[in-house]
Amino acid sequence: MLKTLGILLWTYVFVAIFAVQWRRRILLHRQYREGETLVYRMTGVNENWHYTIEAKGVVKKDAAGAFYEDYEWSHMTLEGNPLELGAGTTALHQRLSLDPDQNPTVPDLSKVDPKTIGPITDFMTFYSDLMAGD
């Protein structure tokens, strides 16, 4: 009886681990298509001010054939009012990817509007969490 319980317990543990890993891969698996466009609209609160901002991306391939997403930021509102983003923010191309052959990069935030640093770094964190969970 004890041996049977042990076998059942180990079987349950194995199946549970396998199911979690299988489900994670299904949920987080990304199939890139070059030229595909992506749009994320972020809504948040940062130190008591409410904002929305859009990240528009295009899927591209690097010279080695690894996929990445190239994002530009636009349409920020602060407390419901449109905020004009400076040239440094609109010129920023944030490179993100879930392709395991792509190395993560950190964009140069020295020229962007300080109000966009939170959303830009939060977006990076989202991708980092997905990569770590895969």
pTM: 0.74
- Identify the CA nearest to 91 among candidates 114, 120, 71, 69: 71
**Structural domain boundaries, residue 97:** 32-133
Q: Is the domain of 54 the same as that of 94?
A: yes
Which pLDDT belongs to residue 133? 63
Q: What CA dihedral angle connects 99, 73, 117 and 83, to 10 degrees?
A: -160
How confident is the model over 99-124, as pLDDT tens digits? 888 887 888 989 999 989 889 988 88
Q: Is the domain of 53 the same as that of 112?
A: yes
Cross-strand pairs, 72: 56
Which of 12-16, 56-60, 77-81 has the weakest average pLDDT? 12-16
- Taking the C-alpha atoms of residue 76 and residue 55, their distance in angstroms, rounded to an integer, is 10
Q: Which two tokens stand for residue 73?
A: 């930021």
Q: Is the domain of 117 the same as that of 55?
A: yes
How confident is the model over 14-51, as pLDDT tens digits? 444 444 444 444 455 678 999 999 999 999 887 888 99
Question: Considering its fold, how many domains does the chain have in total?
Answer: 2
Q: Is the domain of 40 the same as that of 100?
A: yes
